[in-house]
Amino acid sequence: IMLKDPLFIAVIVGCAIVSLILARGISLMGRGGPEGAKKSNKMMQYRIIAQLIVVILVVVFVALRKTGG
């Protein structure tokens, strides 16, 4: 039932995107050097933004399910 819900699918896709950004940031950090650190920091900033969006989607999803929407 939930797999047909577009909001639920958006949450799942968002979680996957956050995971990919995290993995990319960690791999860049592993390269070392000032350039790797700079790129890794930028990826982690993107991850925080993506996480915020996913958290908002989860809150909306739960709120709509609570009210029967």
pLDDT at 48: 96
pLDDT at 69: 58
Say which amino acid occupies 23: A
Q: Residue 15: is its pLDDT beyond 90?
A: yes
Percent of the chain residues topping a pLDDT of 70: 96
Q: Distance between CA 47 and CA 66 in Å, rounded?
A: 28
Residue 17 near residue 50, CB atoms below 8 Å: yes
- Average pLDDT on 47-65 reads 94
Q: Please tell me whether residue 5 adopts helix, strand or coil conformation.
A: coil
Residue 9 near residue 20, CB atoms below 8 Å: no
Helices 33-66 and 6-31, axial angle in degrees (round to 10): 160
